[in-house]
Amino acid sequence: MILSITKKFSTLKSELDYRLRIWQHAKKLPQLTERDRLIVDTLKTEGVYITTLENLGLKSTSEMFKAAHQQLAQMTATTTQHLSEKLPQIHTVTDINEFANWGQETRLLQIIENYLGLPVAFHGVHLRKDLPNAHQFGTLLWHKDSEDRKMVKIIIYLNDVAQKHGPFEYVPLHLTSFPAINSYRIDYKLWQSGYLGINDDQLNKIIPKSAWKSCPGTAGTVVIADPRTALHHGTIRTEERSALFFVYTANPPKRPELCTQYWDDTFSRPNVDKIPV
């Protein structure tokens, strides 16, 4: 009983401290252009903003995109054809200058800081090849990420992504957020799953498939999402999808132990000299 009360008090104090930090930092937020303010506002109302590398126009894009395809070419062919559940191939490329430089462009960090309302922690970059699968498991299930109270993932498609490649898919925030009754129903289903995720049939009984938003796009499509607030998943695919995942939270995040995977040895890493990020 005492431990339970202590835990609840600690959680409440943490949340109050978080709100106080946001209030204190509000005056320090960098000014944004009208087009960048649109990204922030859309993230707050929709949970996801779709654009392209060309439209973003960051100066280091050309070098980053070239490096992505160079690294992609070095990923070994898969030997998992016999498996019923094929895990994605993931390489951590945070230590490569072209990715770290793009991920820490000043304008990009300013957009993210305005969304989070706090100083930004850039955790790193995954180069990811998602493989064909016939049924839902892992990140193919509908889920929410857990690293922080709010966060940003920037997903960049490295190949054209049609429905057969399993595009990113999400449910708009107004359908899943408080005070909508569906927010409670979804949270309950996620809790029942141990927060591993729910499948299409389960979600369709709460929110009809017609309301789900699929995000196909050509190579260079950029999906800017808050995977903590937006219910999302990768869809079933019959062909490979290759993409980069840049990851950001507030500094410090609520659960830093979940962020180490973006720079440690959890996944394969290229053999290059490390750079500070």
Decide which of 58 and 13 is more confident: 58
72: pLDDT strictly greater than 80: yes
Confidence of residue 271 (pLDDT cuts 50, 70, 90): low
Phi, psi of 243 (to 5 degrees): -155, 160
Would you say how long the chain is, in residues?
277
Phi, psi of 40 (to 5 degrees): -65, -45
pLDDT, mean of residues 131-136: 94
Phi, psi of 27 (to 5 degrees): -75, -15
Decide which of 76 and 60 is more confident: 60
Q: What pTM was computed for the model?
A: 0.94
Strand partners, 91: 127, 268
pLDDT digits (tens, 9 = 90+) for 189-210: 999 999 999 999 999 999 999 9
Residue spans per domain, the chain? 1-30, 33-262
What spatial distance separates the first Cα and last Cα of the chain, rounded to whole Å? 43
Place domain 33-262 in its CATH homologous superfamily.
q2cbj1_9rhob like domain (2.60.120.620)
Quote the CA–CA distance of 54 and 25 in Å, as a whole number.
31
H helix runs in 48-180, sequence order: 53-56, 61-74, 97-103, 106-116
| Torsion angle defined by CA atoms of residues 13, 186, 44 and 149, in that order, rounded to the nearest 10 degrees | 30
Give the rounded percent of residues in the chain with a pLDDT score beyond 90. Answer: 86
Give the rounded percent of residues in the chain with a pLDDT score beyond 70. Answer: 92
Strand ranges in 131-171 using DSSP code E only, listed in sequence order:
151-157, 168-170
92: pLDDT strictly greater than 60: yes
pLDDT, mean of residues 50-55: 98
Task: Give me the chain's average pLDDT, please.
Answer: 93
Give whole-number Cα distances, 121 to 6, 67, 108, 208, 252, in Å: 29, 23, 12, 36, 7
Q: Which of 15-19, 104-108, 167-171, 180-184 bottoms out in mean pLDDT, i.e. has the lowest?
A: 180-184
